[in-house]
Structure 1
Amino acid sequence: MNAALKPRLRLRTPSEYAGWVLSIFVAIGILSSVLTNPNFRWEIVGKYFFAESILRGLMLTIFLTVASMALGTLLGLALAVMRSSHVKPVSIAASLYITLFRGTPVLVQLIFWFNIAALYPNLMIGIPFTDIGMAIDVNTLMGPITAALVGLTLNEAAYMAEIIRGGFSAVGKGQIEAADSLGMSAGTRMRKVIIPQAMPSIIPATGNQVIGMFKGTSLVSVLGVAELLQSAQLIYARTFETIPLLIVASLWYLVMTLLLSYPQSKLEQKYNRASSNLPRKAKAVQLTDPEGAAR
């Protein structure tokens, strides 16, 4: 019986061995060229890799990524609920928002928010039809970092709304009907039934969005925000060492992408294991009434 459980051995063909040999030779050739080419200036790369300005830019990039993803996910959740609403004006408003922000380039949106003061130089916040309120100078408020945070958040919310809505759609209607039959409130149903079953669909796409957001923050350099890429550009504008500084920025982007990919894979494994147990739990829920008695 133990022998039957052993995996079958697959014989490798000569062409597969030839492919491995060819791939190894190509990899060695490329690596040798990169390491021995003096134009890469690896000593300059090592000099600036942990430079103070580069690390400050990296920290700002991480801040923009975390803040934009957190705020964008919360707003995206609200938009997903609105988009799924049976109230037509609410659903249409969410659809228009998602269409607008997904249909225009994020670079254009960033520049637009940075120049929003041209449309609304002053904003009045207060109680309508009264004199109670305060004026806000939009030109002062909407600085480069604020414009970057607003632009990235609003754009990310549109994508997260569709990701979350798609995850909710993956939950079977039978599960929702079973929760309703047990008298679960909307919050309990969302927490106990919908979210656990939607997470395996939401987590991979969200992880990709986080990685994309981390790299997408390089666009805010056009606003003069000294994130990772802009920090490298400021150095090579002074030293004319363009390629080594671009390599420094690229290596940091690669390192952070690898670091972000690890927790994503762990979360996927966790929720995939949890979702495999849901059919048994769901069956038990369907067979039990609100008082806990078997049907």
Structure 2
Amino acid sequence: MPLTSDPPLEKSDRAATAGPETDHARLKVVPVRHPWRWAAVAVTAVLLAQFVHGLVTNAGWEWAVFAEFFTAEVVLKAVWTTLQLTFYGTVLGFALGIVLAFMRLSRSRFLKTVAFGYIWAFRSIPLIVQLLFWFNLAYLYKELRFGIPFGPGFLSFDTMRLVGAMSAAVLGLALHQAAYAAEIVRGGVLAVESGQLEAAAALGIPRLRQIRRIVLPQAMRSILPNAANEVISLFKGTSIVSVMAIGELFYQVQVIYGRNGRVVPLLMVATAWYVLLTSALSVLQYYVERHFAKGTTR
């Protein structure tokens, strides 16, 4: 069989493939230019400067009124109420959501059906409708009884006293949040490679310990970004409870500008508080994500 050889290199090819003796100092390095990127930076800077100039020079913003009410006692109380609604709604919602998520992941068809029905119902009904339903629960049921089904009751509660405005708001927010939290947790668990569970089962590790020590630490990397978005959305979404006359931030701002007519600066008060607290939640999210990202290469 005849031997074949590579075709001879041209002069330019030999220069390009030269050895260590090549003089790299003579090579001219031309940086990649991005003219459109710099143009976009300039346009953005001009627009931002115009916006800031408008905030400073436009008297319609009424910054003196903003400064007067930003730290007013009634506003600070409203901020605290908003934080309470967010905290209780998040804790109760995700606690129930975790249970629903593992119900959907179980092998029991009954548990899967119950969890799916709950998620379907509470994602289908608007939040404002759910809040108004819980707020008017006493109209539908005067009292709640515990006893024999379709028979006499042994213990009863007056729903008017049992479910007040704040309780109805927390209940509505938590039950609504649980439906979305369940899908977030389920998606994070499904993102964990199934082979790790098989290896853990082969080693005889109990099922509960597999979930607690193997699945959840890895699933948190997928859960946290979506969960943080839901918490921030819930924090801003607490303004919807203003329909129940609860003194949260947005409702209290509406009451104040309804009295003094200073709509714009009072809305800026609410906006500033929402921005500050959302930024704090974003910083907290960063550190929690960094904690659960330990050991990853990305």
The percentage of aligned residue pairs carrying the same residue is: 39
SS at match of 2:106: coil
Secondary structure, aligned partner of 1:207 = helix
Partner residue, 1:60: 81
Q: Provide the aligned length of Structure 1 versus Structure 2.
A: 270
User: How many angstroms apart in 1 are the aligned matches of 2:266 and 2:217?
Assistant: 44
**SS of corresponding position for 1:124:** strand
User: Could you tell me whether the CA contact under 8 Å between 1:85 and 1:91 is conserved in 2?
Assistant: yes
**Residue 166 of structure 1: SS of its match in structure 2?**
helix
Q: Confirm or deny: 8 A CA contact 2:138 2:159 kept in the other structure.
A: yes
The reply on whether 1:249 has 2:273 as its aligned counterpart is: no
Deviations 1:222-255 (A, max 9, x none): 0010001111111111111111111100110010
Q: Deviations over 1:24-63 (max 9, x none)?
A: 1111111111221111111100000000010000001001
| Cα contact 2:145–2:156 (8 A) shared by 1 | yes
Preserved contact between residue 196 and residue 275 of structure 1 (Cα < 8 Å): no
TM-score by length of 2: 0.86
In 2, Cα distance between the equivalents of 1:130 and 1:106? 34
Matches within 5 A, 1:253-292: 253-276=274-297
SS in 2 for 1:225: coil
Q: Given the superposition, is the C-alpha separation of residues 10 and 174 from structure 1 closer, same or farther in structure 2, using an over 3 Å criterion?
A: farther
More moved, 225-234 vs 109-118? 109-118
Work out the CA distance in 1 between the residues paired with 2:239 and 2:209: 40
Instruction: Decide whether the 8 Å contact of 1:224 with 1:230 is kept in 2.
Output: yes
| Letter of the structure 1 residue corresponding to residue 103 of structure 2 | M
Give 2:244's aligned amino acid.
L
- Greater shift, 253-262 or 80-89, is seen at 80-89
Equivalent residue for 1:42?
63
Q: Take 2:181 and 2:30, find their aligned partners in 1: how far apart are those partners?
A: 43
- SS of 1:133 mapped into structure 2: strand
Q: Is the 8 A contact 2:75 2:249 kept in 1?
A: yes
Query: Residues of 2 paired with 1:108 and 1:162: CA distance?
Result: 22
- Secondary structure of 2:204's aligned partner: coil
Larger CA Rg, structure 1 vs 2:
2
Q: Deviations over 1:249-295 (max 9, x none)?
A: 01100100000000101222222233449xxxxxxxxxxxxxxxxxx
Is 1:123 aligned to 2:144, yes or no? Answer: yes
With 267-276 and 33-42 compared, the bigger mean Cα shift is at 267-276
Q: List per-residue Cα deviations over 1:120-149 (Å, max 9, x = no partner).
A: 221013566886732111122221111100
> After superposition, what is the alpha-carbon deviation per residue over 1:61-91, rounded to whole angstroms, capped at 9, x for unaligned?
0011011100111100110111112211211
Judge conservation of contact 1:200–1:275 (CA < 8 Å) in 2. no
Change (3 A) 1:85 1:49: same
Which of 52, 57, 73 is 2:94 aligned to? 73
Establish whether residue 33 from structure 1 lines up as the match of residue 58 from structure 2.
no
Instruction: Decide whether the 8 Å contact of 2:145 with 2:155 is kept in 1.
Output: yes
Given that 2:79 and 2:249 are in contact with CA atoms closer than 8 Å, whether structure 1 keeps it comes out as: yes
Structure 2 unpaired stretches of 5+: 1-28
Verify the 8 A CA contact 2:141 2:159 in the aligned structure 1. yes
The alpha-carbon deviation at position 13 of structure 1 amounts to 2.6
Residues 145 and 153, structure 2, Cα contact 8 Å, conserved in 1: no
CA distance in 2, matches of 1:177, 1:74: 27
**TM-superposed deviation, 1:10:** 5.9
TM-score, normalised to structure 1, is: 0.87
Q: List, as ranges, runs of 4+ consecutive aligned residues in structure 1 with deviation greater than 3 Å.
A: 8-12, 126-132, 274-277
Name the counterpart of 2:22: none
Q: For structure 1, which runs of at least 5 residues remain unmatched after alignment? A: 1-7, 278-295
Instruction: Please point out which of 233, 236, 239 is paired with 1:215.
Output: 236
Whether 1:225 and 2:246 are equivalent positions in the alignment is yes
Query: Equivalent residue of 1:273, what SS?
Result: coil
How do 1:80-99 and structure 2 match up within 5 A? 80-99=101-120
- Listed as ranges, the matches of 1:170-209 within 5 Å are 170-209=191-230
SS in 2 for 1:226: coil
